[in-house]
Amino acid sequence: MSHPESSTVRLKVSPEVARIVKPGAPRDAQLAAARGALPLAGKDLLAILFFLCRSSDAEVKKAAVKTLRELPATILSPLCKDESLHPQLLELMVRARMADVDLMGAVVMHPAVTLKTLLYLAQKAGADVLERLAGHQNMLYENPEIVEAIFANPAAEKALKFKLGWQDPEDVSKQEPPQEDGESEEEADEEGRSQAEIEALMEEADHEGLSKYQIALELKVAEKIKMALTGDKEWRTIMMKESNKLVQAAVMKNPRISDGEVLMVAKTRTSSDDLIRMILLNKDWVKNYEVKKALLVHPKTPPPKAFRFITYLSMKDLKELAKSRQISSVVANALRKELQMRIKKSGG
């Protein structure tokens, strides 16, 4: 008979699982379960392996770990669709099956996955899994520390890190002038400051007469994302000028962003596909007539999306835009057809 190790874990399990993992359960039943030899539903098997992987019985523990690592993905993947799956079971899958790219992709999407688990994955996973993790931009905006963890992971490819806003220390050192004697050098791998530390930095900079733009030059990517998400209009304006797409998109997530700022993004022809997509997906923003008009003529707006705004145009704007040479030929043709149709309907 084996017992779980001393640390207590509270996990609601089925009666069948409880019979096998409870104190005093027969050792042969635990060993059979650890070897995957019992007819159990996938969720029950995972829960049992979770407890038996922590067993004080070395043979049971070894068998449970082996089974977990060899369990077919066809058993584990469907469990990720169960929103009631306990966060600790998701963490168990990450620790035991980190090389399984598709499974990790499903774990990352689970609503119960914890920041602790995501950070562990970002720190330890291979390149293919990191690509999956980096694809969930909303999660990265909300948890910029994951971006920093990816940067610190030796398995992260440079192309991915550049995409997330990483700067090669060698390139940065080439651009920076040599420091004066006695000037201390910051560690390249310094962790991002907390919100309180950033505020303290701003207060100190204010006393020294530094502008927010000058402060921004001192911030790392994760810190810039934090400021983009929470800062005032001046900070949002500064962060929108950043070349990093994550920082720009974080500005759009700031709850204080105004319709005027959104309109400015929609009117800026160099705005990225991601920013235009974010505006298109926000029903409140696209209710604004001027935003509709700006999206209609923006080169990054997909034509099918642009077409749906044509019927909202006033006759005056329709006539002007139909003559414009700055619009794609596909959209321009659709505008001219709409204009002809309205003229015909009005009897003109």
- Give the span between the Cα atoms of 27 and 57, in whole angstroms: 9
Structural domain spans, the chain = 1-71, 99-163, 194-257, 260-348
Question: Average pLDDT, stretch 306-335?
Answer: 90
Instruction: Using alpha carbons, select from 222, 272, 265, 268 the residue that is nearest to residue 247.
Output: 222
Could you tell me how far CA 313 lies from the centroid of its own chain? 36
- Top-ranked range on mean pLDDT: pick from 142-146, 208-212, 286-290: 286-290
pLDDT tens-digit readout, 88-111: 999 999 999 999 999 999 999 999
For 331, the token pair is: 């959209």
Q: Is the pLDDT of residue 55 over 50?
A: yes
pLDDT tens-digit readout, 266-287: 999 999 999 999 999 999 999 9
pLDDT tens-digit readout, 290-307: 999 999 999 999 888 888
Asked if 4 and 28 count as a contact pair (C-beta separation under 8 A), the reply is no
pLDDT for the residue 144: 78
pTM of the entire predicted model: 0.56
For 158, the token pair is: 């440079």
pLDDT tens-digit readout, 7-47: 456 778 888 888 988 888 889 998 998 898 988 898 999 99
pLDDT for the residue 178: 42
User: Average pLDDT, whole number, for the chain?
Assistant: 84
pLDDT for the residue 211: 77
